[in-house]
Amino acid sequence: MSVFDALIGQEHAVAEMKRAATDARNITLGISDSNSANSMTHAWLITGPPGSGRSTISLAFAAALVCPAGGCGECADCRNAMAGTHVDIEHIVPEGVIYTIDDTKSLIERASLAPSRSHWHVIVIEDVDRFRNDAASVLLKSLEEPPPGTVWLLCAPTSDDVFETIRSRCRQVVLVSPTLDAIATQLNQRYGIDPNMATFAARAAQGHIGRARALASDELVRERRNEILDMPSRVNSVVACFEMANKIVANANADTDSIVNPLDEEDEENIRTAFGDGVEGFKGVERQIKSAVKALEKRAKDRRRRVLSDQYDRVLLDLTGFYRDVLLVQSGSDLPLINEELRAKIEKLAASSTSAETLKRIDVIRETRDNLLANVNPVSAFEAMLVTLRNPQLLASGS
């Protein structure tokens, strides 16, 4: 078993990271050959399309660096790393649309701290394309002269999205979109999913590995998806749109709770164990525990925001896939539909609307994503989206 097992079709990148992790261990043992092509680097830029596993591979690499066995996937270091609760790994996801200079300064301050459990302090930054120019300059200084033991793993969709100054100081790893066949095979072989279900999930997830696995293994996830894909044919009235918007947000919050609450409890449990819960004199450290739990609150809050935003992204991705299928039918293409099982419904909508309307509908879904990133109230954002899906003429032309 290895922390890299969940990656599909990224053998080249995985091999490079494994070699670097081995060298990283040799450095701590004082036996590294720093001139070798396999040597460790302090700043990495990991690029790849959505769903290719940018954050999965970054967290796996981080785990390989903090695990005494180079990423066994079984020890406490590996498990905490993959769950996002390792003390020496910081996983940064932008809270708003951009990284501000204040975010960046406080990040760099934290990055300068020495690792506490392992030899490396790993900072994984998602969406590094969202650094503003001034914030990027601050980050740049730390990339140029990294504190000893600090490793930066920067993630972005493509290297073109990243400032040249940052890019040129990083070692780049490029991920590819795994094929639907590769995803289906992995679901079948690694998780024992029935081949038909695996093929359906790979197609429906549009190349997102994590999403494919959730669809294949969780009936609630499939149910939620069906509800969403039913919406285009239910946007008959404004009232219906408002009800559906509320439903989307309520379900996303409920699903987020069911994902993050056990993790929050586990975090607190780990702290209590670390402080010796149940042993003599435990009461004396209760105050220390409280302050440690408080420090975890920010992490829990960030995690909740991240998971909730993933839930919203899924809704938007499923709807985009649906209208993409409508557009395919309207343009007479014989490419396979993402939602083959909904072909009748898709053909009906394709016949009763124009491709210009479909394009507007796809546009408004994209705009909704921007609005959510810009912290527009989610219910309002989805209401506006559904009302425009009902009547795409509402979308200002040229936007």
- Applying CB under 5 A, which residues contact Zn ion? 67, 72, 75, 78
Inter-helix orientation angle 76-83/238-274, to 10°: 150
What residues have CB less than 8 Å from 305, skipping those under 6 apart? 93, 95
Number of Cβ atoms within 10 Å of the Cβ of 220: 12
Measured from the CB atom, is 128 or 151 closer to Zn ion?
A: 151
How many beta carbons lie within 10 A of that of residue 299, not counting itself? 16
Count how many Cα atoms sit within 13 Å of the Cα of residue 372 in the half-sphere of its side chain.
25
- Closest-CB residue for Zn ion? 67
Q: What are the CB-based long-range contacts (under 8 Å, 24+) for 106-110?
A: 107/139, 108/138, 108/139, 108/141, 108/142
Q: Which is nearer to Zn ion, 67 or 151 (CB)?
A: 67
Nearer to Zn ion, 75 or 285 (CB): 75
| Min separation Cβ 82 and Zn ion, Å | 10
> Minimal distance in Å, beta carbon 70 to Zn ion?
8
Query: For Zn ion, which is the closer residue by CB, 68 or 148?
Result: 68
- State in angstroms the smallest separation of the CB of 76 from Zn ion: 8
- Least distance CB 116 / Zn ion (angstroms): 17
The one-letter code for the residue type at 33 is: D
Nearer to Zn ion, 117 or 324 (CB): 117
Contact assessment for residue 305 and residue 95, using Cβ atoms and an 8 Å cutoff: yes
Q: 46 by DSSP, 3-state: which?
A: strand
Q: How far is the CB of 98 from Zn ion (least distance, A)?
A: 35
CB of 57 to Zn ion, least distance (A): 16
C-beta contacts of 291-295 below 8 A and 24+ residues apart: 293/268
C-alpha to C-alpha distances, 306 to 124, 198, 257, 317, 347, nearest whole angstrom: 14, 26, 12, 16, 35
> Please, what is the minimum distance in Å from the beta carbon of residue 102 to Zn ion?
35
Beta strands in the chain (DSSP E): 43-47, 89-92, 121-125, 150-156, 171-174
Q: Which long-range contacts (CB under 8 A, 24 or more apart) does 263-271 make?
A: 263/83, 263/84, 263/85, 263/300, 263/303, 264/296, 264/300, 264/303, 266/83, 266/85, 267/85, 267/296, 267/299, 267/300, 268/293, 268/296, 270/80, 270/85, 271/296
Whichever of 70 and 157 has its CB closer to Zn ion, that residue is 70
Q: Which lies closer to Zn ion via its Cβ, residue 40 or residue 156?
A: 40
Q: Which residues contact 334 (CB under 8 A, 6 or more apart)?
A: none
The residue (of 117 and 222) whose beta carbon lies closer to Zn ion is 117
Measured N-to-C along each axis, helices 378-390 and 355-373 cross at an angle, to the nearest 10 degrees, of 170
Q: Smallest distance, Å, CB 26 to Zn ion?
A: 17
Minimum distance between the CB of residue 152 and Zn ion, rounded to whole angstroms? Answer: 22
**Closer residue to Zn ion, CB minimum distance, 1 or 344:** 1
